[in-house]
Amino acid sequence: MDPPKKLSKTRHLSEAEEESENYLENFYNKNERSNRRVSFVQRGAMNQAQFDEKFDYNKPHMENLVKKQTRKFVSRFYEPFLSCNAFKNFLFDLIPILKWLPEYRWKTDLTPDIIGGLTVGVMQIPQGIAYALLARQPAINGLYASLFPPLIYMFFGTSKQSSLGTFAVVALMTGISVESLTAPEETAFNATDVLDPAEVIKEYPTATEVSCAITILMGLILFLMGVLRLHFLTTYLSDQVIAGFTVGSSIHVFVSQLKTLLGIRRLTRHSGAFYLFRHLYDLVLALPRFNPVSLGISVGSLIILYIGREFVNPFIKKKTKSNIPIPWELVVVIVSTAFVYFSGVNASSAVQIVNKIPVGVPEFAVPRFDIFKHVFSDAISITIVSISVWLSISKMLAKKNNYQLDAGQELFALSFTSIASSFIPTVPISCSLSRTLVAVGAGCVTQLSILFSSILVFLVVFFLGSLLETLPMAALSAIICFALQGMFKKFYDLGQLWKVSKIDFTIWVVSCGSTVILDVSIGLIISVFFALFTTILREQYPKWHILASVKGTQDFKDSERYGDTIYFKGICIFRFDAPLLFHNVECFKKSVDKAYLEWQKSHEFYVLREERDTILNQKMDGSDESSDEKTVHTMNTMSADILSRHFVIDCSGFTFIDLMGVSALKEIFSDLRKRGILVYFANAKAPVREMFDKCDFFKFVPKENFYPTMRDATSIARQRQLELGFKDTTYVPEHDRLTEVLSSHPM
């Protein structure tokens, strides 16, 4: 039989897979004798240089990252036009409906999509009108936002269950921007507050113009993010940032609806930091002017919503085994509208109503470009909140339902949707969690469910809108406030969050507090920067550990967590759990000093008996010398050129290292060698070692001081301790940190 051929240095993937399959087949073969075991070749202890030479280490060819990313970015613009097949794939990726609609399973998915779509459509109607009120818009604008944007998204989006339309937090932020730019009189849209258009100051934009300007800017920002592939920026909004911010925004929403719940009109506008408290102060002063009929409608609506949601729906679900809930919001809209229509309290008791809802095709108009500069900052904030909420919910649903969500395509889908809908009266859009959960519970399977939900909204917009003219504003405010109960329940989670992570708890509190106390936009900025600051803080002051060998294993673990461990005489193993960068090098050096002092106090610090006897004699004599002087005396008890102490730095935590980190390692190496301690570096990652090579670190620290594993480093150290004739023959120059600093600063 011919001997096996020697493997080439570069093996094909198929060969590696074949070897892996053969290994697994032998490993799991039940027919093998029980005494057969797959064993690995045991090797002796060696340093990193020997390890690299023995196992044929080769630095991979690393292409310039800037050139690679630039070429990848540019190629996306011309590759689709290189062939018909490439253009087809590009077109199908840009318009996903071309891909999923021909593959639609009509027999199994149509019925769930119809039921789920109609269920969501029933919720879209009252929420669209209510959130339009919150955004300081005419009621019809909310219905337009619930009809046209979802239909456009159906062609370009990849999320199958997320419900696109009006969203409370986005509506609130839009309303704040509208109030700051529109004429003071244009704050409500009802029968008793309607003014003659000639009386409105012409230089002020209308509420619809402000909303459409924000919407198109939102679309342009999303398009730019899509082109530049910037969807990763949303990851900087952690779950705690989003949760704290949305709860804080919900408090703003709730306070803004109190005057409508009470039927109080014409309160002074406030904006900027602390405006919420000024608004509450004015509201308290205006309490004597409350409308008892409006308050009665509000209380009655809340009672219906509470009983229906908390008792009736669970009871029906239990009896019928159906996940389709009764739309109590729509029930409130119908009942309250009928009550006002037949009682006439809008005229007799001055109850605020929606008033006229236009029926038919919406008016098309180009957004006003002259107000872009006034709403640009608000548009950025609204875009960040909208896309963050959308992607977080959509990714969660995609993972749960086992399908792929293209985050980059979602940016384009929402961009096209926002730009197209900005030419009609609308409000900025996002994902509503309540409607999305209803869609999932009702069984929505694909984007086709959007078509059926839009049918109901279409009927209201084009035919049935006039029936809602007597819908009281108090009922809409009750719907908005009741929808916030889920947000307020998040306060109950703070206790558990405090137990799990104090830092995440702090992020939540700061996000919520800054949003409530200052302003929504200011709170968002503070929340993001505070979360990033905590990340920097955690890396600036990371944990460090002294490691010990776990009995009977080749593992080294934290000595403070594992009791069944072994310390080696004269060997200290130190680990720093963070990348070694400019902002934490001082912490790293202090941590090494603390580890050294802790090691010096232990029995494991002393290798030779005469060393310990010398220290004990000094203590018995009551010497007042400092610890540094004692260290010098201790070193003098040893032979001048024999090293018996070894300090091993576990570099596994150094995922990154910069020049200041390299300089810090030089300082540590030099300082410890002056104390007569040999320094080892173990588990250094290949990119870190390559960084050392680039900055000539190995000219200062011999490469033989690096070891592939902790076991190699400790084994070599123990061998050298046994060989008392081991001498330090390598000259170690003192690291000149001052010259480095002066060379990097202008004179």
The DSSP letter of residue 574 is E
pLDDT (0 to 100) of residue 499:
92
**pLDDT tens-digit series, residues 571-608:** 999 999 999 999 899 999 999 999 999 998 887 776 55
**Length of the chain (residues):** 747
| d(C-alpha 89, C-alpha 605), whole Å | 67
pLDDT bin (cut points 50, 70, 90) of residue 39 is very low
**pLDDT tens-digit series, residues 419-434:** 999 999 999 999 988 8
pLDDT bin (cut points 50, 70, 90) of residue 621 is low
Select from 1.10.240.10, 3.40.50.2000, 3.30.750.24, 3.40.920.10 the CATH code of 543-614+635-743.
3.30.750.24
What does each C-alpha distance from 243 to 261, 388, 504, 505, 607 come to in angstroms?
A: 26, 11, 11, 11, 56
| d(C-alpha 669, C-alpha 24), whole Å | 44
Of the chain, the end-to-end C-alpha distance in Å amounts to: 75
| d(C-alpha 115, C-alpha 95), whole Å | 25
pLDDT (0 to 100) of residue 235:
82
CA 153 to chain centre: 24
Q: Quick check: 553 pLDDT over 90?
A: no
pLDDT (0 to 100) of residue 638:
42
Buried b (16+ CB within 10 A) or exposed e, 238-260: bebbbbbbbbbbbbbbbebbbbb
Q: Quick check: 146 pLDDT over 50?
A: yes
**pLDDT tens-digit series, residues 375-414:** 999 999 999 999 988 988 898 888 888 888 998 999 999 9
Which ranges in 401-519 belong to alpha helices (H)?
407-421, 433-442, 449-459, 473-483, 485-488, 494-500, 502-517
pTM: 0.79
The DSSP letter of residue 722 is H
| One-letter amino acid of 32 | E
Q: Are 448 and 157 in contact (CB under 8 A)?
A: no
Of residues 36 and 458, which shows the higher confidence score? 458
Q: Quick check: 32 pLDDT over 70?
A: no
pLDDT (0 to 100) of residue 428:
95
Q: Are 339 and 481 in contact (CB under 8 A)?
A: no
Report the share of the chain in percent with pLDDT over 90. 48
Q: Are 444 and 433 in contact (CB under 8 A)?
A: no
Residue 450, both tokens: 């959007």
Q: Where are the domains of the chain?
A: 66-93, 104-183+204-492, 543-614+635-743
pLDDT (0 to 100) of residue 593:
94
